[in-house]
Chain A
Amino acid sequence: MKEGLIYVFKRFIHILIILLVLSFIVFSFIRLIPGDPVKSTLGPLASEESVNRMTHELYLDRPLVVQYGHWLKNVVTQGDFGKSLLTSRPVSLDIKEYLPRSLELCFLSALMILVFGVLFGTISAVFRNTWIDNVIRFLTYLGVVTPPYAFGVLFLLIFSYLLKWFPIGGLPRFSPENVRTGMLSIDALLMGNFSLFIKVLQSYFLPCLSLAIGSIAYQARIHRSAMVENVNADFIAFAEVAGVSKSKLIFKHLMKPSFIPTLTVYGLQVASLLGNAFIIESMFRINGFSQYSLNVILNKDPYGIVAVTFIFGVIFAVVNLCIDIGVVALDPRIRLKGAE
């Protein structure tokens, strides 16, 4: 337990250092970008004074080190990530508004990837070399090679427009006093409004599926091959001959060791979800973090960009940490070796 805590703590320090370096690099890069972000934000007709005032306010007229120091001080002391040029609000407010929605989107997608990826992978492995396997393998191939935006359009057209099973993009809107976590499904539950909760899930279903489907397919393939590899392992033959029941054999003896490679790949898939979500977000009119990050990048909003890369770094690190912990939990070989 203690070793575990030390490990997590070490990783945490590690992440912190990476983030510091990352943010400094991003700051210096923003300086290099040609074009004045303040001017382009305030519009063509803004007066010289207001441009200067904004430039000064954002510390853009001072040396890089001073600007970085000021930013770092504010982050550490007040959790203030600076002011966004794009929305003229503190970046932290923007993140608070946009991030939960995207996290919700990604979380639901991640859930789909895990459940459906493992489900199809298992079915495919259990019925390997039968027609069921062939059909699933063909579909997973199609899933891997089809661009996500194509799925988005297809789903929107078929399930929303023609069949009217789902809304045509957009999310249910909440009055501000009901927004507590920013994650709509949780807020709906907190309100005790179950039908609203269903509505939220319904709105999320297609975007999540479009975002997840490529990863589901990939995950299914990885899981299938991991299971097929283990099917030929001695311990499965031994357990089989020793009389372990078929279902236990598949869902326990075969599943658990096969889960280790699956989980590693899963981590990479999940970590990349948020970065890939912006086309899906704009297609389904979800005003989320991925779109926000695209906007701050396109607008060269300095503090926005830093905060966005910061968040991506944190998410990547946290997901990786979770996966590492998960792998350790699943695989006693690593765990016991680590303890020695």
Chain B
Amino acid sequence: MKKKWIFLTVCLMALMGLVGCSGNKTQETGEKTQAAVATEAPVSAEKTVRDTLRTTQTAIPDTCDPAKGSGENDDLIFVNIYETLVYPNATTGDAEPLLATSWTSDNDGLKWTFTLRDDVKFSDGTPMTANDVKYSVDRLIAIGEGFSYIFKDVIASVDVVDDTTVVFNLKKSFGPFISSLIKLRIVNSTLLKANQLDGNYGENGDYGTTYLLNHSAGSGPYYISTFNVNDSVYLTENSNYWGAINDKAPKSVEITGLLDAATSKMLLNSGEVDLLHGRQVSTTLKSLLTNPEFATTSIAETGMNYFMMNTKKAPTDDLHIRKAISYACDRNAMSAIYGGMELSDSPIPSSFWGATDDVTTYPYSEEDAKKEIALSSYANNLADYPVEIAYIQGNGDTGKLAMLLGSELEAVGFTVKISEVPWVLFCDNAATVETSPSITNANSNASYPEAGSLLEVKFSSMTAGTFNQNEWILDDKLDAMIADSLATVDNDARLAKYAEIQKYLTTDVVPTINTFVGAVKPIWNTSVFSWPAGEGSVHVLEEYNYYYADFMMK
């Protein structure tokens, strides 16, 4: 009997303690937040203290293994911890030397020889050699995930000549080979071999995949100090970094996976986060910008927002219906929802190398849309074929785009069903023609800044059955054209072939509405740091804007 009372009393006291203490702690938290928001006053004191940047991404990936990730959230971390042989120029996107000092090709682009820097060290101090390059390529292709799709049909073998010379032998000529190398991240083979476990890759065991679940093995300016799956990543400055890091760069970076608008707003406002990566809805941006210390900018993505029409499912299997939908779509209004975005007539962003300005997409016109419907085989029974427009849950304002298109389609006589789909379900539905909705809205991005990459990822049969291609084009002629253009080493010839493909897509296939060129709009606390993208020098490749070594803490 007594025991119960003692137990209850203890419980009560514990809870009282909890409540009571929270009262005490209030002041401390309060002070901290105030200090973070209003930094003008205690500048000198803060300057030395604040060397941690707290930033966000829409999600934290399961692993930061460069052989596995291929999404935006992977890239944002990769650019900070891994380096590549070449580096894309900030304004043109052209490949410039990074880990490789120079390269030559012979044999019609089937053999490439790279000379490597000899002063590069990985974050654990091990010097980088040609062996690491070979190991990285072998590993990427063997594991077969992530960006391996770019290289698996291209690279035949890698030969190590000496510590600083490495030769790539290609299976076939590949025009954008050098550009594509920005996705080939060099890992520390010594470290991974030392931490290798048993696995599926013969003598390479598990290729260090288990180790990389929560570690990094790169030569970038940062390394992973703590990795919490699906939650947060801590980056710490690499003291062995071979290059120069500006001395104002954050000593450590705390990246949190954060999507929820309300929480994002609260965290930035109360100074617990310094930078929101940038997939906020426009109202969130607007309300945050009422704080004079916050600023935003627009960073173009290497791809576009698309409405993808399923060409194998009624009624969008009819070319006229697809044209009608294209006519019915008011792209200017959609751009306005996002606060003004760059439009493109071609399915490739016009700033891309290889984009053509020789095509015109279908202008907004209800009348033309109705005319096209009349021409189609569904002219009399359109109501029997409801059009489903699916969009991804939590993907910024894309719901509004879908809603707007839906109301425009209803205006010209379609029966429309809108579905908001969680990401995983969205991918699942894309797997078969039957489950693929009539129209989906999603963003597709190129792997490297060239039209060919986006054409391949977006329109070739390779990606049918994935969220990148709800269209199910499966057009042999198109596939051949894309393959041919990619194999063309000569730049001018490749350019012409790219233009040909874009024309073919726009006039003959019409699988897609090119809504607008994608962009992220990060918002940050100007009193905490400044960064190149904020000063107007936006890197053409989105992820390189989040290269934290370029950030300057205040």
Query: Do the two chains touch directly in the complex (Cβ atoms below 8 Å apart)?
Result: yes
Chain A interface (Cβ < 8 Å from any Cβ of B): 34-36, 39-40, 42-47, 49-50, 53, 57, 86-89, 97, 111-112, 114-116, 119, 153, 156-157, 160-161, 163-170, 173, 175-176, 198-199, 201-202, 205, 252, 282-283, 285, 287, 295, 298-300
With contacts A35-B431, A115-B8 known, is A165 near B62, CB below 8 A? Answer: no
Q: Which of A49, A88, A287 has the most CB of B within 10 A?
A: A88
Q: Which of B1, B19, B25 has the most CB of A within 10 A?
A: B25
B104 at the interface (CB under 8 A from A): no
Main secondary structure of the interface of A (DSSP, over half): helix
- Distance in angstroms from B83 CB to nearest chain A CB is 22
Chain B residues with Cβ below 8 Å from A111 are: 11, 14-15
**CB within 8 A of A40: which of B71, B148, B431, B462?**
B431
Whether the Cβ atoms of A40 and B427 lie closer than 8 Å is yes
B22 at the interface (CB under 8 A from A): yes
Chain B residues with Cβ below 8 Å from A112 are: 15
For the complex of A and B, the 8 pairs showing the least CB-CB separation, nearest first, are: A44-B466, A50-B144, A47-B144, A45-B149, A287-B231, A35-B428, A161-B266, A198-B21
Beta-carbon nearest neighbor of B468 in chain A: A44
Whether the Cβ atoms of B146 and A299 lie closer than 8 Å is no
Considering the chains assembled together, what is the distance between the CA atoms of A238 and B179 in angstroms? 91
**CB within 8 A of B11: which of A47, A88, A114, A282?**
A114
The number of residue pairs between A and B whose CB atoms lie closer than 8 Å in the complex comes to 148
Among B222-230, B298-306, B313-321, B348-356, the stretch in contact with A: B222-230
B23 at the interface (CB under 8 A from A): yes
What 0/1 pattern do residues 12 to 45 of B give for CB contact below 8 A with A?
1011011101111110011001000000000000
Whether the Cβ atoms of B422 and A298 lie closer than 8 Å is yes
Chain A residues with Cβ below 8 Å from B159 are: none
Whether the Cβ atoms of A53 and B200 lie closer than 8 Å is yes
Beta-carbon nearest neighbor of B463 in chain A: A44
Whether the Cβ atoms of B25 and A36 lie closer than 8 Å is no
Beta-carbon nearest neighbor of A199 in chain B: B25
- Distance in angstroms from A326 CB to nearest chain B CB is 10
Beta-carbon nearest neighbor of B199 in chain A: A57
B270 at the interface (CB under 8 A from A): yes
Whether the Cβ atoms of A40 and B200 lie closer than 8 Å is no
Whether the Cβ atoms of B260 and A47 lie closer than 8 Å is no
Chain B residues with Cβ below 8 Å from A173 are: 226, 228, 232
Chain B residues with Cβ below 8 Å from A97 are: 229
Considering the chains assembled together, what is the distance between the CA atoms of A201 and B71 in angstroms? 36
What 0/1 pattern do residues 40 to 78 of B give for CB contact below 8 A with A?
000000000000000000000011000010110000000
With contacts A40-B431, A42-B145, A298-B422 known, is A283 near B23, CB below 8 A? Answer: no
Considering the chains assembled together, what is the distance between the CA atoms of A165 and B20 in angstroms? 11
Considering the chains assembled together, what is the distance between the CA atoms of A116 and B19 in angstroms? 13
Considering the chains assembled together, what is the distance between the CA atoms of A252 and B1 in angstroms? 9
B336 at the interface (CB under 8 A from A): no
Chain B residues with Cβ below 8 Å from A163 are: 26
Whether the Cβ atoms of B22 and A166 lie closer than 8 Å is yes
14 cross-chain CB contacts under 8 A: A42-B145, A44-B467, A45-B146, A45-B149, A46-B144, A87-B230, A88-B62, A115-B11, A161-B269, A161-B270, A202-B25, A285-B231, A287-B230, A298-B422
List residues 233-277 of chain B with CB under 8 A from any CB of chain A. 256, 258, 260, 262-263, 266-267, 269-270, 272
Q: Which of B62, B213, B424 has the most CB of A within 10 A?
A: B424
Whether the Cβ atoms of B30 and A164 lie closer than 8 Å is yes
With contacts A34-B435, A115-B12 known, is A156 near B266, CB below 8 A? Answer: yes
What 0/1 pattern do residues 119 to 146 of B give for CB contact below 8 A with A?
0000000000000000000000001111
Whether the Cβ atoms of B270 and A168 lie closer than 8 Å is yes
Having A164-B33, A201-B22, A285-B256, one finds 18 other A-B pairs with CB under 8 Å, namely A42-B145, A44-B468, A45-B149, A45-B457, A45-B462, A57-B200, A87-B213, A161-B269, A163-B26, A164-B26, A164-B30, A166-B22, A198-B25, A199-B25, A201-B17, A201-B21, A298-B422, A298-B424
Chain B residues with Cβ below 8 Å from A161 are: 266, 269-270
With contacts A87-B62, A287-B230, A298-B424 known, is A205 near B30, CB below 8 A? Answer: no
B152 at the interface (CB under 8 A from A): yes
Chain B residues with Cβ below 8 Å from A300 are: 424, 428
Whether the Cβ atoms of B263 and A169 lie closer than 8 Å is yes
Tally of B interface residues using CB under 8 Å: 66
With contacts A43-B145, A47-B144, A88-B62 known, is A202 near B213, CB below 8 A? Answer: no
**CB within 8 A of A153: which of B144, B262, B467?**
B262
Chain A residues with Cβ below 8 Å from B344 are: none
What 0/1 pattern do residues 476 to 495 of B give for CB contact below 8 A with A?
00000000000000000000
With contacts A43-B70, A87-B62, A115-B11 known, is A168 near B263, CB below 8 A? Answer: yes
Whether the Cβ atoms of B145 and A46 lie closer than 8 Å is yes
Beta-carbon nearest neighbor of A52 in chain B: B144
Chain A residues with Cβ below 8 Å from B33 are: 164
What 0/1 pattern do residues 453 to 482 of B give for CB contact below 8 A with A?
000010000110111100000000000000
Beta-carbon nearest neighbor of A94 in chain B: B229
With contacts A57-B200, A173-B228, A205-B22 known, is A39 near B263, CB below 8 A? Answer: no
B425 at the interface (CB under 8 A from A): yes
Chain B residues with Cβ below 8 Å from A295 are: 230
- Distance in angstroms from A269 CB to nearest chain B CB is 16
Beta-carbon nearest neighbor of A169 in chain B: B263
Considering the chains assembled together, what is the distance between the CA atoms of A49 and B153 in angstroms? 13
Chain A residues with Cβ below 8 Å from B462 are: 45
Whether the Cβ atoms of B70 and A45 lie closer than 8 Å is yes
Considering the chains assembled together, what is the distance between the CA atoms of A283 and B260 in angstroms? 8
B209 at the interface (CB under 8 A from A): yes
Considering the chains assembled together, what is the distance between the CA atoms of A167 and B256 in angstroms? 15
Considering the chains assembled together, what is the distance between the CA atoms of A47 and B457 in angstroms? 14
Beta-carbon nearest neighbor of A97 in chain B: B229
Beta-carbon nearest neighbor of B30 in chain A: A164
Whether the Cβ atoms of B424 and A299 lie closer than 8 Å is yes
**CB within 8 A of A44: which of B23, B229, B260, B427?**
B427
Considering the chains assembled together, what is the distance between the CA atoms of A44 and B145 in angstroms? 9
Whether the Cβ atoms of B148 and A47 lie closer than 8 Å is yes
Considering the chains assembled together, what is the distance between the CA atoms of A157 and B265 in angstroms? 11
Chain B residues with Cβ below 8 Å from A153 are: 262
- Distance in angstroms from A124 CB to nearest chain B CB is 17
Chain A residues with Cβ below 8 Å from B12 are: 115, 119
Beta-carbon nearest neighbor of B32 in chain A: A164
Considering the chains assembled together, what is the distance between the CA atoms of A40 and B466 in angstroms? 9
Chain A residues with Cβ below 8 Å from B146 are: 43, 45-46
Considering the chains assembled together, what is the distance between the CA atoms of A134 and B509 in angstroms? 70
Whether the Cβ atoms of A47 and B26 lie closer than 8 Å is no
Chain B residues with Cβ below 8 Å from A252 are: 1
Chain B residues with Cβ below 8 Å from A205 are: 18-19, 22
Considering the chains assembled together, what is the distance between the CA atoms of A4 and B63 in angstroms? 48
Beta-carbon nearest neighbor of A251 in chain B: B5
Beta-carbon nearest neighbor of B19 in chain A: A205
Beta-carbon nearest neighbor of B230 in chain A: A287
Whether the Cβ atoms of A115 and B468 lie closer than 8 Å is no
Whether the Cβ atoms of A201 and B428 lie closer than 8 Å is no
- Distance in angstroms from A59 CB to nearest chain B CB is 14
